[in-house]
């Protein structure tokens, strides 16, 4: 069964994810979104509020390669040839990582090349909800 909620509605999202063992998020409001940074931060905040409200213990966050260090103190996003068009999204995802680190009992993880939903819809699988933005 597929259940849908708006990622920016943390109360509805908490209901969607309650009772699951973990959450996998590939949320991205869209690389061409003129409000990419603000919407990414707002969506991340909403997801984390929902995680706390639903008392989930595990979170896997997909994305954020721009924040990876290529050498000590130098991130991918800091490279001079990093694409300007994706920099706002990368900066927002780096901020999302900091938000994730503030959530106790959560696991932060990796990169996925394909997300599974579209627009602002969130898809919940029977045991582990996974959501994101189709590119």
Q: Tell me, what CATH number does 81's domain have?
A: 3.40.50.720
Please state, in angstroms and rounded to a whole number, the distance separating the CA atoms of residues 119 and 29: 7
pLDDT of 126:
35
Please state, in angstroms and rounded to a whole number, the distance separating the CA atoms of residues 35 and 122: 19
Determine the structural domain holding residue 18 and report its residue range.
3-132
How many distinct structural domains can be found in the chain?
Answer: 1
Please state, in angstroms and rounded to a whole number, the distance separating the CA atoms of residues 8 and 59: 17
Please state, in angstroms and rounded to a whole number, the distance separating the CA atoms of residues 130 and 135: 16
pLDDT of 103:
61
Each of the 135 residues of the chain gets a pLDDT tens digit; together they read: 677 889 999 999 999 999 998 888 888 888 888 898 899 889 988 998 998 899 888 888 787 788 888 888 888 999 999 988 888 888 888 887 777 776 644 443 333 322 333 333 444 433 344 444 433
Q: What angle do CA 94, 95, 98 make, to 5 degrees?
A: 95
């Amino acid at each position: 069964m597929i259940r849908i909620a708006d990622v920016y509605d943390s109360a509805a999202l908490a209901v969607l994810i309650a009772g699951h063992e973990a959450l996998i998020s590939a949320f991205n409001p869209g690389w061409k979104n003129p409000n990419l940074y603000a919407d990414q931060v707002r969506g991340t905040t909403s997801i984390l509020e929902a995680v706390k409200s639903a008392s989930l213990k595990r979170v896997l966050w997909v994305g954020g390669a721009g924040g990876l260090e290529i050498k000590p103190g130098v991130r991918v996003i800091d490279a001079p040839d990093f694409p300007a068009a994706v920099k706002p999204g990368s900066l927002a995802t780096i901020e999302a990582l900091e938000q994730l680190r503030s959530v106790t009992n959560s696991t932060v993880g990796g990169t996925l090349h394909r997300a599974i939903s579209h627009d602002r819809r969130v898809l919940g699988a029977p045991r582990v909800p996974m959501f994101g933005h189709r590119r």
